[in-house]
Amino acid sequence: MHSKKKSGRSGANEKQLSSARARASERGITRRTGARSSGGNPPAGARGSRAAVSKSRSGSSRNSSSASVPMATSADEHSRQLLFPEISDRERKGKWWAARLLWLRRLYIGRKIQSLGMDSNIISYEGQRFRIYAGGEGNQPLVLLHGFLDTSHVFRRVLPELLKRFRVYMLDLPGHGESEMPFIRSLWHLPDISASIFRLLHHRLKLQDPILLSHSMGGLVGIHAQFFARKYHDLTLFQSMHLIAPGALLLSPEEREVLRRRFFPGTREEVQELFNHLFYSQIPELPGWAISGLLYEWSGPGFQYLAANTLERESEVFYKPTDLKKLDVPVELYWGKEDSITPLLLGKKLQKSIRGSKLHQFSPAGHGLLQEKPGEFLYRFLSRIHEL
């Protein structure tokens, strides 16, 4: 009798358990089984249960289309990951303590910049924080905008001479350096970043007819800000624009893929490879901690959002040659002949696209023109300023 009761109890329990499992399956709830999976993916059992729920839901209507969905290729999956980064994709690489050492190094460089007579402030404006250095003996305002994955410190080698002749405003772009920006994907879009730069310079700092000196992506930001000022406020932001190797033109898919791989390094080796392409004759040997710190910073969600938004809406970010003919201020282009990030051929195409622009070539020099040819660049830049 005892064994029969136990067996009956066991059967009842099995029925209750089966019923509970069925109810859980209908709600999409699955029991975790097996070892914990890596990389943020659901466990194998969970994937199977979700597939079963999906199948039961789709099968409830027998008259619905039963066409099979084509399997995504690895290239399609890679593009999807770039456009829609998951939480697991946003996990930091590198070491946080190494990034802290980089912060201390930048603090030291910032103090040296202040020793040249520049004020350094964090300005809160429109819900964002901007690191801005300001100073100089001249009256003519000069705005310095750096490139992608960089900071305003890239101008430090030419800064002493600029301070003798201009009132210099040097800032970290939103999301770079000490200009913090929330990790909200819609904010990390270059045209919107450029519009915020226009409002900061024109409405907050109230600069009148500044000159722009930019490096790489900073030039693209400047062009967007210039067009934004003209379109929505009927004014000219910059009286002249001096752009070092700006990647402003819409690229072919092949060219874009090469740049994407270089500018979004995912390993220590890829970080060093990026620096190898940035410079031609003076390639820096980065210590291991610096590479780890850069990898930690660059693998954050902000830069991934910027990459995803650029891929998704690239026609809003880059320009066709016909678009650039609308620039109505003097434009000077400065290019390293051995630049492998934005090759000289792009500079020649850009020069043909912008009416009245001039292309100044430097050799031997790569994309890091301010580090490789600071003296020669200063001479040509100042000469053009006096001629304009």
Dist CA 253 CA 308 (whole Å): 15
pLDDT score, position 275: 87
Q: Which CATH superfamily is domain 116-387 in?
A: Alpha/Beta hydrolase fold, catalytic domain (3.40.50.1820)
What residues form DSSP beta bridges with 121? 132
Cβ-based neighbours of 159, under 8 Å, separated by 6 or more: 113, 116, 168, 170
pLDDT score, position 274: 87
CA distances from 86 to 51, 91, 167, 247, 306 (A): 20, 9, 44, 28, 14
Cβ-based neighbours of 98, under 8 Å, separated by 6 or more: 289, 290, 292, 293, 296
**172, 178 contact by CB (below 8 A):** yes
* 10-residue stretch averages of pLDDT, the chain, 388 residues long: 45 50 44 38 39 42 44 53 56 86 96 98 96 98 97 98 98 96 93 98 98 98 98 97 95 72 77 88 85 90 88 92 95 97 95 97 96 97 91
Cβ-based neighbours of 112, under 8 Å, separated by 6 or more: 156
pLDDT score, position 28: 42
What are the residue ranges spanned by the domains of the chain?
A: 116-387
pLDDT score, position 80: 58
pLDDT score, position 264: 72
pLDDT score, position 255: 72
Pairing of strands 128-135, 141-145: unpaired
